[in-house]
Chains A and B, each alone.
Chain A
């Protein structure tokens, strides 16, 4: 390997000699040095072995990542490409009275400006189509986009946003999901009520289960709103070509759904849209639906040039989906030996301004909320509620990390009160092969007890403590 590298260096053209300059060490080299890596790839053995399943096979993209050769959207450029930026509302609930884009359009270097009224079908969403691509009449949360600019440089696009004047009429807002559930709360999407999805699971007879219990425990648990924070922000390059065909290079994690959303919002058939997902620098659920792609497409249509958009870190926080904060009330009836006889759960999910993946999150949170335990008498109910905050959506775990924090904290409280070891109380209640789930499904390949016992063994749970 070392020998080959030396050969490469010898073959490189040698620059004519010149005396070193005094500030040589401060100067940026005119050309990046040629990479010194072998082009002949010797694959690790695992990649060559059969059978393939079970091998610790390295990833073919790993080499490119390691050499810095992976091309993310930020590294890509097409000839004549423009840069787009989106103006954010900065107000949580308002009616848009007027948008004046004339000063921005007059700026040198600004090639096009777009507002929500110009979008053919200005709504999208995986279950409820309640989200505008750009807010046109009403602002639902402070991160809503209200106008977009395509310019020859990113900086000109940013400067142009400052020249766009938007007049708002502030409207009442609600930020607390419990307040939002009240009948007199301001409605986020009138005439629809703020509770936009519910889920119920009833199994056995909870009242009888509580009556038969030796002890009843209650607890309320809450979780916060968090962001996915992928290293690579949402980014796309869109080109509307002279044949009316739209090519989208994007960080989307779901191109099949993305193409459907683009077809709907742009009002053009599926076969005129090509979505190519580039190598994605982190997703974690945050890149599962379109964001700026229709905006870039329409700016490209207006200008006839490819348009690139890369979200800033701030936009990642304020204008993309986040994890649902959940308020979780638990009530559990147990025997003195620690066997759970009945459980009641109530979940209130702060859905933010749009539904996005809330219905899926609600369903998973509700079904999983009882924990991996055999509970004959269960009543779980869950509500997803609109507030004038950043929208919540898909994020690694879909409600499961929230309810797990609740049911496992609650479990340790019960164990401590009954004087039972946390491991033992779980083993006494855990699912077994064939156990019915809260929805009455007979579970198969159930190894929850194996995970408990093996983790305890590896940790040294039963060893005497110092």
Chain B
């Protein structure tokens, strides 16, 4: 018989490296027409980070994402970056880019101030314009200012900056300190169906509520959550590298190392929880790794809810679930058969 169950798991996860310095540097150049070239040493690994980083530069300079071209991942041309690791790109590289863009913007403001007859600190960059705060009708196009800066004033508007998350080393005896600058939080709830005759588990639905600070690009956050859950489902139910007695892997191929396919994927509902981190770029933290953290725990608790057995090791294969169900039944039968005293 197929039995349904539901399980809940929450988690916390840090952004960046444990105490060790993990800086990022960035260079932002505003071209003569107001478009922008951004140089970063990070690598696009499929998560869409370069798009998010372009959005951060665009926001600081008051232009649109499409105005920013990102040059990345070349040690000859791009500034150092600790890399696409530890869910740190949006937070750490993003902060460096925001600062670099602010430095380029300061040159634009310095050049635009006498053109608009105000002080640089009275200006703001919005909608591809440099304008007087509170008087948006007094404005110049960002391209006009950038061109003036470079061609007339001899001050090309470019900025560079670096950023490293502040941490405090941990005491070796007690582990007390500040290992990370910030953390994100999440809860996933899984609904499963367990066949109590075969032990087979089908994950029907996962509701995922994730905190990432300000979602710079909600669509890419949703993509990360869905991808993370697919890894979590494989970790929970299917994937396992097996070794023979001599320490050699016996299933190093995709025929015998079973991963979830689209057919194994549950219905996913992504909920981005409203949050703002004042230490992140425009309030953003990160989202990459945490998305796959609570999935296995939520599924384990859902199996427990469905058939009353606790599987304590991953992956929770049909064999393990069925063995646990049989053991529970045997215990129940033994209790029934025990003579009354």
Contact between A405 and B249, CB atoms less than 8 A apart: no
What separation, in Å, do the CA atoms of A49 and B66 have in the docked complex? 8
Contact between B289 and A227, CB atoms less than 8 A apart: no
| A182: Cβ under 8 A from any B Cβ | no
Q: Which residues of A contact B84 (CB under 8 A)?
A: 253-254, 283
| A158: Cβ under 8 A from any B Cβ | no
B271 smallest CB distance to A (angstroms): 5
B53 smallest CB distance to A (angstroms): 11
A52-B65, A255-B73, A273-B75 known; A400 and B13 CB under 8 Å? yes
Contact between B252 and A408, CB atoms less than 8 A apart: no
The interface centre, meaning the residue of B10, B248, B304 with most chain A CB atoms within 10 A of its CB, is: B10
Contact between B186 and A451, CB atoms less than 8 A apart: yes
Contact between B73 and A276, CB atoms less than 8 A apart: yes
A430 smallest CB distance to B (angstroms): 7
Q: Which of B217, B234, B278, B310 interacts with A226 by CB under 8 Å?
A: B234
What separation, in Å, do the CA atoms of A404 and B282 have in the docked complex? 29
Contact between B175 and A201, CB atoms less than 8 A apart: yes
Contact between B56 and A142, CB atoms less than 8 A apart: no
Contact between B55 and A53, CB atoms less than 8 A apart: yes
What separation, in Å, do the CA atoms of A25 and B294 have in the docked complex? 51
* Residue of A whose beta carbon sits closest to that of B19: A363
Q: Which residues of A contact B174 (CB under 8 A)?
A: 200-203
Contact between B314 and A222, CB atoms less than 8 A apart: yes
* Residue of A whose beta carbon sits closest to that of B236: A405
**Interface 9-mer from A3-11, A101-109, A116-124, A452-460:** A452-460
A312 smallest CB distance to B (angstroms): 9
Q: Which of B48, B59, B76, B173 interacts with A51 by CB under 8 Å?
A: B59
Interface bits B76-92 vs A (CB < 8 Å: 1, else 0): 10001111111000000
Q: Which residues of A contact B76 (CB under 8 A)?
A: 274, 276
What separation, in Å, do the CA atoms of A338 and B56 have in the docked complex? 43
Q: Which residues of A contact B240 (CB under 8 A)?
A: 224-226
For chains A and B in complex, what number of residue pairs have CB atoms within 8 angstroms? Answer: 376
A236 smallest CB distance to B (angstroms): 13
Contact between B297 and A404, CB atoms less than 8 A apart: yes
A49-B64, A397-B289 known; A255 and B18 CB under 8 Å? no
Interface bits B213-252 vs A (CB < 8 Å: 1, else 0): 1111111100000001001101100011101001111011
* Residue of A whose beta carbon sits closest to that of B269: A458
Extra pairs beyond A225-B241, A404-B11 (9, CB < 8 Å)? A52-B55, A226-B241, A256-B82, A280-B44, A360-B17, A371-B12, A404-B296, A444-B277, A456-B189
Number of A residues contacting the other chain (C-beta, 8 Å)? Answer: 120
| A300: Cβ under 8 A from any B Cβ | no
A182 smallest CB distance to B (angstroms): 17
Residues of chain A touching chain B, judged by Cβ–Cβ distance below 8 Å, are: 43, 46-61, 90-93, 141-143, 173, 175, 199-203, 219-227, 229, 252-257, 259, 273-277, 279-285, 287-288, 313-314, 316-318, 322-323, 360, 363-364, 366-368, 371-372, 380, 388-390, 394, 396-398, 400-401, 404-405, 407-409, 412-413, 416, 422-423, 426, 430-431, 437-441, 443-448, 450-452, 454-456, 458-459, 461
A124 smallest CB distance to B (angstroms): 16
| B312: Cβ under 8 A from any A Cβ | yes
Q: Which residues of A contact B214 (CB under 8 A)?
A: 53-54
Contact between A255 and B43, CB atoms less than 8 A apart: yes
Contact between B73 and A363, CB atoms less than 8 A apart: no
What separation, in Å, do the CA atoms of A363 and B18 have in the docked complex? 7
What separation, in Å, do the CA atoms of A404 and B13 have in the docked complex? 10
Contact between B74 and A54, CB atoms less than 8 A apart: no
| B148: Cβ under 8 A from any A Cβ | no
A54-B214, A389-B243, A400-B11 known; A451 and B187 CB under 8 Å? yes
What separation, in Å, do the CA atoms of A56 and B218 have in the docked complex? 6
The interface centre, meaning the residue of A52, A316, A430 with most chain B CB atoms within 10 A of its CB, is: A52
Q: Which residues of A contact B63 (CB under 8 A)?
A: 50, 52
What separation, in Å, do the CA atoms of A253 and B44 have in the docked complex? 8
* Residue of B whose beta carbon sits closest to that of A388: B247
Contact between A447 and B75, CB atoms less than 8 A apart: no
What separation, in Å, do the CA atoms of A256 and B11 have in the docked complex? 31
Contact between A447 and B10, CB atoms less than 8 A apart: no
A52-B59, A55-B55, A273-B75 known; A364 and B312 CB under 8 Å? no
Q: Which of A173, A280, A412, A445 interacts with B7 by CB under 8 Å?
A: A412
Q: Which residues of B contact A396 (CB under 8 A)?
A: 228, 231, 288-289, 292
Q: Which residues of A contact B297 (CB under 8 A)?
A: 404-405, 407-409
Q: Which of A48, A142, A279 interacts with B66 by CB under 8 Å?
A: A48
Interface bits B269-282 vs A (CB < 8 Å: 1, else 0): 10101111111001
* Residue of B whose beta carbon sits closest to that of A287: B45
Q: Which of A224, A281, A389, A445 interacts with B247 by CB under 8 Å?
A: A389
B177 smallest CB distance to A (angstroms): 5
**Interface 9-mer from B157-165, B194-202, B204-212, B333-341:** B204-212
The interface centre, meaning the residue of A90, A222, A454 with most chain B CB atoms within 10 A of its CB, is: A454
Q: Which residues of B contact A439 (CB under 8 A)?
A: 170, 175-179
Contact between B6 and A54, CB atoms less than 8 A apart: no
What separation, in Å, do the CA atoms of A323 and B278 have in the docked complex? 33
**Interface 9-mer from B131-139, B253-261, B321-329:** B253-261
Q: Which of A48, A50, A201, A257 interacts with B62 by CB under 8 Å?
A: A50
Q: Which residues of B contact A175 (CB under 8 A)?
A: 243, 247
Interface positions, chain B 2-17, Cβ under 8 Å from A, are 6-14, 17
The interface centre, meaning the residue of A49, A322, A368, A445 with most chain B CB atoms within 10 A of its CB, is: A445
The interface centre, meaning the residue of B13, B86, B241, B278 with most chain A CB atoms within 10 A of its CB, is: B241
B280 smallest CB distance to A (angstroms): 9
What separation, in Å, do the CA atoms of A346 and B181 have in the docked complex? 25
Closest 9 CB pairs of A and B: A254-B83, A92-B247, A201-B175, A317-B252, A408-B297, A52-B58, A277-B73, A283-B45, A372-B12
Contact between A450 and B275, CB atoms less than 8 A apart: yes
Q: Which residues of A contact B19 (CB under 8 A)?
A: 363
Q: Which residues of B contact A199 (CB under 8 A)?
A: 175
What separation, in Å, do the CA atoms of A281 and B43 have in the docked complex? 11
What separation, in Å, do the CA atoms of A275 and B301 have in the docked complex? 45
Contact between B43 and A277, CB atoms less than 8 A apart: yes
* Residue of A whose beta carbon sits closest to that of B73: A277
A229-B259, A454-B273 known; A47 and B65 CB under 8 Å? yes
Contact between A398 and B289, CB atoms less than 8 A apart: yes
* Residue of A whose beta carbon sits closest to that of B291: A396
Interface positions, chain B 45-69, Cβ under 8 Å from A, are 45-46, 48, 50-51, 54-56, 58-59, 62-66
* Residue of A whose beta carbon sits closest to that of B255: A313
What separation, in Å, do the CA atoms of A188 and B128 have in the docked complex? 61
Q: Which of B17, B239, B279, B301 interacts with A224 by CB under 8 Å?
A: B239
Contact between A367 and B18, CB atoms less than 8 A apart: yes
